[in-house]
A and B are shown apart, each in its own frame.
Chain A
Amino acid sequence: MNKVGTPDALMRFLQGYESLPGVADELKRPDGTLRPVWDPLIRYLASKSPEQLARSFARGDQYLHDTGVYFRQYSGDESTMRDWPLSHVPVIIGQDEWDGLAEGIAQRAELLEKVMADLYGDGELVRDGFLPADLIAQNPEWLRPVVGIKPRSGHYLHFLAFEIGRSPDGSWFVLGDRAQAPSGSGFALENRMATSRVFHDLFPKSNVERLATFFRVFRDAMVGLKGGDGGRVAILTPGQHTDTYYEHAYIARYLGFLLLECEDLKVQDGQLSVRTIAGPEPVSVLWRRLDSRFADPLELDETSALGTPGMVSALRSGAMDLVNCLGSGVLEARALMAFLPRICEHLMGAPLKMSNIATWWCGQDHERAYVLENLERMMIGSAQSTKLPFDIDRTTALGGKFRGEARGPIEDWIAREGKSLVGQEAVTLSTTPAMIDGKLKPRPMVVRVFATRTPDGWAVMPGGYARIGRDGDPTALAMQAGGSVADVWVMSDKAIHADTLTSTASGPLLRRQPGLLPARAADNLFWLGRYAERAEGAVRVLRAWHLRLEEHGTRNVPLVSALGDFLTTFGHDIEDPVPVMLLGHFDASVVCASKVRDRFSTDGWNALNDLSETARKLAAKVTHGDDAARAMTVLLRKTAGFSGLVHDNMFRFLGWRFLTLGRALERADHIAAVLAVLADEATPPGGLDAAVEIGDSVMTHRRRYTIETSRETVIDMLALDRENPRSLLYQIDILREEEEQIADATAQPRMGEATRRILMLQTMLAVSTSGQISSRRLNRIRRELAGISEALTAQYLS
């Protein structure tokens, strides 16, 4: 047993932790004594100085920062990212208690499956009076085109979440069912990673159930759904603008599944396929993280811009399985909870093992009367809402009062719109310790728990995603906005066998098959390469311009003016020392990278964001001349850091090759453009030296040619020298090599347009002498590069 922390020290540490009367507390029993499962953690906390604790907590925050976990918040039209609000103290629940809870969850999951099968099958629950017909008919998530479809696997539901809380009597109850496209499991995993770093010396010794086992079982179940057909397993995300996109990308990487957007998918001959750089590839299991309604603009919501036309048809033809089946959102309506207790007895032959929040549908006379008599302890809101009881909107009444603007007596409202309203008991939640200003304080909490269907029944994740209220108010209200999140430790008496996702008989993880690169991802990587390089090129010219501006003190010198014109031609407004267009290039690279976060290293992502932010900061303060030139040097250094990460550390998978193609193409274009002006017969004095400087080849030139710069030496070195990584021909060699690799990997039947054009350009340059590379020729080469880009797009990227 841990000897640190005398009883006195413990008492001192817990001083001020007062659980509220009539409220269950996770840490303390009603008699004020500590629950034994918390003992090791509290002793550990008590044994540390405030400075030590601060350092431990910072370790967790650093982890979250380094892995790029952020929280996207929406307010109006704006979305902002803020730091992940981790409450460092986990919620601890004993194994025995957890086992009972998990049984209740498994029962409820199976119950929801049966209800779903009935609502999309024979409709007997309505026929036999267990559910009112209008409640289902008016539910916008009950999707008529799905009625009559039987999923290929025989099951509608495969992955569910439940929001649970603990009532004052100590029992657990369900506040909401999450069946549409439950999020949070990946965040739970991230909370675990961070929390295990905070308690890096305590966690390994604690008998905390590991989460990896659950994810392995889930992954195996997903793969098992393929049932031997050759298709892929993929995750469907609404895209980077959704608040849980980070989680989608994270979990796709963790589980080794493809991350797709609707645009990646196509239904052809009744089969769902992903558009890849090598043509369509069948998808047979899709973990849907997009709301059903939006999944198919042809048969479902016709206004959806996100969907895949034909998705319902593909489901109907039985060529694939969706996790969960389309239409599962119908199970989330609040009003359903008024009927589930009775339906459970009917369908499962047993009462609910874990009750749900008491709910009364105001469309029934008796229930409506009850709600009216008990307005004081009711939350009244939309019957069809899928929000949790504490997600209060303007049309919610609580304790007999409207939350929003006054709308007359509540009684009238209920009488008028009873069918669309439910009353729910205003609940009191349990409290759990959170560290606030160096002291533990009780804060209300709810926990989201997760369940997945396996061949042996439902498996419940031992742990979950806890949300902690912002202040001490134990009513559900405190959970609305703000607050923090915490890990959940299920503590066993027995030693825990550490598990990881890879220690499994089901084979090694993350073996992606080459060739399975979605065309959209390849396109974003290609443009990431182009924009990042376009930015670098612009920075080089800007630096050269600012340096000469400083040197000459005026723009009315031929060279300064030529460089200025060059920048203007490329859209840069040189009245700004750091033109907006340059910031635009950095932003565009970040946007491209954000769309392929599952294929892009976190270090690379951070470096790119850092570049973009630095450029913005510098733009706000630097002035023309030396100041701006120095700023450009800073940006160049950071660019080199980013390039290093991408080109030295990234695995040479196909996506990387597209990134490299983009970069080489853009660099070739940039060099050609620079040479066409600065190596022209009519270049101003100093132009050739500027070209060499922009081409980053000053040292090389000096070593190579003992003579002064001449048109011949500059063209030779920057256009035709195969050894110079900045030369035009060097870029074309890269295009040739990478495109060849891609053509091989995608088994192109014969030489494509892109291959042909690259080969011709390469040959032309290889046999040219520097005298033949006129400015006219350079401009023709630039047009040819644009043609190559189009050919690459047509062949692989659309």
Chain B
Amino acid sequence: MSQSYDIKLRIAYRYDHPAGSHRTLLRILPRSIEGQQQLLYGQVTTDPPPDFRLDDVDFFGNPMTEVTHEGRLSEIDFLFEGRVLRRTPRDGLDLSCALSDLPRAVAQIQSIRAPSPHHFLGPSPRLRHESEIAAFARCCTRPGMSALEAVEAVSHALNDLFDFDSSATEVTTTPIEAFRARRGVCQDISHVMISALREIGVPAGYVSGFLRTLPPEGQPRLEGADAMHAWVRAWCGPDAGWVEFDPTNAIRVGLDHVTVGFGRDYSDVAPSKGSLRSEGGHETRHMVDVVPIEAKLTA
């Protein structure tokens, strides 16, 4: 099965005082992933247009756009608009290896290139070792489980534990703060899940992307559809490879999700990172629109 979406994203910055020398790194162009999704068309633009622009691909293969605005501005918009074709991921048999065999399976992979699971173990810029999260992870898994069962178990346990609350946290909230508060948004829940999985030896990474805004008829609306979404990918052994879970909604990632990029944690895939010279504060708003194209195109 497959499904196409027309997607619009607008990230709007408003400054209290006009700010100059903006440099912004954008990761908002959905990547194409073989067998999983394809960017049919689309582009990243800014309003006003940039003074300098460079499009490139980062270490993990995510498209990134670097733009600068030299003059003093009180507002800038960053936009993506385009169409993405999404395919159902294979999720039939559990091909994952036993949780206890995972360390050996990882060790056998002699690679530091992007797809290697080695990047997704241990601490990363926003995720440190937290013994409370480690204890939680060991608590909700058993050594006899397959890697896939373990990931599923952690995902469900977190979904039960957390209340989705978009007012409880900010983009800078640490996973342990959110974990203790048991509240947060997709970014927090995903960060906690990644930490938990790494603690039990499962290589895990952060995926940023979109959810369809309106659910198919008769189904409930998913949490997190009004902004960019985040979920988790976990490496479950050489045969199963990378498997994606959405702990915010306690589901396997499927046709309703569109990947933008992935990395070790949020810092690798932040949709916009910027620097500028200014005196005052600023305000950011994200606006997302994910509209499914009728089945005629993709039947």
Contacts and interface: CB of A to CB of B under 8 A. Distances in A.
Nearest to A119: B112
Nearest to B60: A144
B66 interface: yes
A297 B275 contact: yes
A137 B66 contact: no
B110 A126 contact: yes
Contact of B25 (A127, A138, A299): A299
B110 A298 contact: no
Contacts of A128: 110
Contacts of A123: 111-113
B111 A147 contact: no
Contacts of A317: 54
A138 B52 contact: no
B113 A270 contact: no
A266 B125 CA distance: 25
A133 B111 contact: yes
A127 B110 contact: yes
B125 A126 contact: no
B27 to A, nearest CB: 11
Interface string A507-530: 000000000000000000000000
B interface bracket (residues with beta carbon within 8 Å of A): 20 to 34
A299 B24 CA distance: 10
Interface in B1-35: 21, 23, 25
Contacts of B267: 302
A267 interface: yes
Given A123-B111, A147-B59, A302-B125, A267 B54 contact: no
Contacts of A301: 125
Given A298-B273, A309-B275, A138 B111 contact: no
A282 to B, nearest CB: 15
Q: Which size bracket describes the interface of A in this complex?
A: 20 to 34
B182 interface: no
B118 interface: yes
A290 B60 CA distance: 26
Interface in B48-63: 51-52, 54, 56, 58-60
B273 A302 contact: yes
Interface string B115-140: 01011011101000000000000000
Given A268-B68, A269-B52, A270-B54, A133 B25 contact: no
A298 B52 contact: no
A136 interface: yes
Nearest to B21: A266
B203 to A, nearest CB: 10
Contacts of A132: 107
A133 B109 contact: yes
Interface in A303-357: 309-310, 313, 316-317
Contacts of A266: 21
Nearest to B58: A145
Contacts of A137: 112, 116, 118-119, 121-122
Nearest to B266: A302
Interface in B191-205: none
A138 B122 contact: yes
B17 to A, nearest CB: 15
B165 interface: no
- Most chain-B Cβ atoms within 10 A of its Cβ — which of A123, A128, A297, A298? A298
Contacts of B23: 267, 298, 309-310
B91 interface: no
Contacts of A299: 25
A136 B54 contact: no
A126 B25 contact: no
B111 A127 contact: yes
A495 B70 CA distance: 59
Given A145-B59, A268-B68, A134 B275 contact: no
A129 interface: yes
Contact of B110 (A133, A138, A269, A310): A133
Contacts of A316: 56
Nearest to A316: B56
Nearest to B276: A309
A360 B43 CA distance: 51
A267 B51 CA distance: 12
Contacts of B122: 134, 137-138
A148 B267 CA distance: 20
Contacts of A270: 52, 54
Contacts of A268: 52, 68, 70
B59 A144 contact: yes
Nearest to A267: B23
Given A298-B23, A298-B25, A302-B273, A129 B110 contact: yes
A134 B273 contact: no
Contacts of A142: 112
Nearest to B270: A302
Given A144-B58, A269-B52, A301-B125, 11 more contacts: A119-B112, A129-B110, A133-B109, A133-B111, A133-B116, A134-B106, A134-B121, A136-B118, A137-B121, A302-B270, A309-B23
Q: What 5 pairs between A and B have smallest CB-CB spacing?
A: A137-B118, A144-B59, A309-B275, A133-B118, A309-B23
Interface of A: 119, 123, 126-129, 132-134, 136-138, 142, 144-145, 147-148, 266-270, 297-299, 301-302, 309-310, 313, 316-317
16 contacts: A119-B112, A126-B111, A127-B111, A128-B110, A132-B107, A137-B112, A137-B118, A137-B119, A137-B122, A142-B112, A145-B58, A268-B68, A298-B273, A302-B125, A302-B267, A313-B66
